A and B are shown apart, each in its own frame.
Chain A
Amino acid sequence: MFSPSTVVIVIAGYVALLFALAQAGERSGWGRRVAAHPLTFALGLTVYCTTWTFFGSVGRSATGGMLFLPVYLGPTLAMVVGWRLFRRMAELKHQHRLTSVADFVSARYGRSQTVAALVTVMLSVGLVPYLALQVKSLVSSFTMLTGTESAWFAPLLVAAMVALTIAFGLRHLDPTERHPGMVVVVAFESVVKLLAFLAAGVFVVGLAFPDTASWFSRLDELGAKLPTLGPSGANDVLSFVTVTVLAAGAFAFLPRQFHQGLIENSDPAHVKTAMWATPLYLFLMNVFVVPIALAGKVLALPGTSPDTYVLALPLQAGQAALSMFIYVGSLSAALGMVIVETMAMTTMISNHLVLPLATRLRPLGVLKPRMLQVRWAAAALLMVAAWQFAVQFGGAQMLVSIGLVSFAAAFLLVVPLVGGLVWKEASRVGALAGLGGGFAAWVWTLLVPTFVKSGWLPKALLDEGPLGFTALRPEALFGVEGLPPLVHGALFSVAAVVVGYVGGSVLAPPSRDEALLTEAFLGQASDQLAHLDGQQATIEVAETTQKAVTVFTEYMPADKARALVDEVVGGLTPVDGKLTVVQYAELLQGLERVLAGAIGSASAHVAMKAVGSVERKDKKTLEREFARVLAELKLNPRELKQRVDFEQEKAALLEEQFRALEAKNGELEGRVRERTRELRAILDNVLFGFLVVGRDGVVREGHTRSCQELLAADRVAGEPLGGLLRLSTDEALTFAQGIDQVFDDFLPDDVATAQLPQRFKVGDRSLRVEARAVRDDAGAIGALLFTVTDVTRLEAVELENEGNRALLNILKQKPAFEAFLDETRAQLASAADAASRSDAQTVRRVVHTIKGNAASYGLSPVVRLAHRLEEHEHLEPDHLEELSLAFREFLETHEPVLGVRFDAGRRRTVQLSVDDLRALERLAPHLPGDERGALSRWLEQVSQVPTRQLLGPIEATVSSLATRLGKEVALELKGLEARVDPERLRPFCQSLVHVLRNAVDHGLERPSERGAKGPTGHLTIELVRGDEADVVHVVDDGQGIDVERLVAVALARGVVQPAEVARWSDSEKVQLVFRDQVSTADEVTDLSGRGVGMAAVKAEVERLGGSIDIETTRGKGTRFSFTLPKPQPVVLARAA
Chain B
Amino acid sequence: MSPLRRKLARPALHLLVAGLTFAAFHVPVLFNRGPIATWLSLYGAWAASIVVLVVLSFADDSPEED
Contact = CB atoms under 8 A, between A and B. Distances in A.
B22 to A, nearest CB: 6
A76 B50 contact: yes
Contact of B63 (A70, A229, A953): A953
A781 interface: no
Given A66-B38, A276-B57, A77 B50 contact: no
Contacts of A705: none
A220 B38 CA distance: 12
Interface string B26-52: 100110101110110011001101101
Given A77-B18, A244-B22, A219 B57 contact: no
A79 interface: yes
A961 interface: yes
B53 to A, nearest CB: 4
Interface in A50-84: 65-66, 69-70, 73, 76-77, 79-81, 83-84
Contacts of B59: 272
B7 interface: no
A957 interface: yes
A241 interface: yes
Contacts of B38: 65-66, 228
Of B11, B21, B53, B59, the most chain A CB neighbours within 10 A belong to: B53
A1061 interface: no
Contact of B26 (A241, A272, A283, A290): A241
B36 A220 contact: yes
B21 A76 contact: yes
B36 A219 contact: yes
Contacts of B22: 77, 244
Contacts of A403: none
A313 B17 CA distance: 40
Interface residues of A, number: 44
A148 interface: no
Contacts of A273: 57
Contact of B53 (A70, A276, A290, A964): A276
A79 to B, nearest CB: 6
A240 interface: yes
B53 A84 contact: no
Contact of A272 (B34, B39, B47, B57): B57
Of B34, B35, B54, the most chain A CB neighbours within 10 A belong to: B35
Nearest to A279: B50
Given A65-B35, A273-B57, A283-B47, A80 B25 contact: no
A279 B53 contact: yes
B15 interface: yes
B29 A237 contact: yes
Contacts of A546: none
Nearest to A73: B25
A960 interface: yes
Given A81-B14, A237-B30, A273-B57, A279 B35 contact: no
B53 A76 contact: yes
Contact of B61 (A73, A84, A244, A280): A84
A275 interface: yes
Given A73-B46, A80-B21, A220-B36, A275 B26 contact: no
B interface majority secondary structure = helix
B52 A80 contact: yes
B64 A80 contact: no
A268 to B, nearest CB: 10
Contact of B18 (A81, A237, A272): A81
A223 B63 contact: no
A84 B11 contact: yes
A1019 to B, nearest CB: 14
Nearest to B46: A283
Nearest to B51: A276
A244 B24 CA distance: 12
A66 B53 contact: no
Interface string A216-255: 0001101100111100000001001100100000000000
A998 B40 CA distance: 50
Given A66-B42, A240-B29, A276 B15 contact: no
A301 interface: no
Nearest to A221: B36
A240 B26 contact: yes
A80 B35 contact: no
Contacts of A222: 36
A712 interface: no
A915 B49 CA distance: 54
Interface string A324-340: 00000000000000000
A457 interface: no
A229 B39 CA distance: 10
Interface string A282-298: 01000100100000000
A76 B56 CA distance: 13
Contacts of B65: 1086
A956 interface: yes
Contacts of B47: 283
A543 B65 CA distance: 47
Given A227-B35, A290-B39, A80 B62 contact: no
B54 to A, nearest CB: 5
Contacts of A953: 63, 66
Given A73-B25, A81-B14, A960 B62 contact: yes
Contacts of B39: 66, 223, 290
A238 to B, nearest CB: 10
A69 B42 CA distance: 9
Nearest to B63: A956
Interface in A967-999: 997
Interface in A697-717: none
Contact of A66 (B29, B56, B61): B29
B58 to A, nearest CB: 8
A66 B49 contact: no
Contacts of B21: 76-77, 80
A80 B36 contact: no
A809 to B, nearest CB: 26
Given A66-B42, A276-B50, A956-B63, A228 B32 contact: yes
A244 B17 CA distance: 16
Nearest to A233: B32
Contacts of B18: 77, 80-81
B49 A76 contact: yes
Nearest to B41: A66
29 contacts: A65-B38, A66-B38, A70-B25, A73-B25, A73-B46, A79-B53, A80-B56, A81-B14, A81-B15, A220-B36, A223-B35, A229-B32, A237-B26, A237-B29, A244-B25, A244-B26, A276-B54, A276-B56, A276-B57, A279-B46, A280-B50, A287-B43, A952-B66, A956-B64, A957-B64, A960-B63, A960-B64, A964-B62, A1086-B65
Interface of B: 11, 14-15, 17-18, 21-22, 25-26, 29-30, 32, 34-36, 38-39, 42-43, 46-47, 49-50, 52-54, 56-57, 59, 61-66
Top 4 A-B pairs ranked by shortest CB distance? A223-B36, A81-B18, A276-B53, A956-B63
Given A220-B36, A223-B36, A237-B30, 19 more contacts: A65-B38, A79-B53, A80-B56, A220-B34, A223-B35, A228-B29, A228-B34, A229-B29, A241-B26, A276-B53, A279-B46, A280-B50, A283-B50, A287-B43, A290-B39, A670-B63, A956-B64, A964-B62, A1086-B65
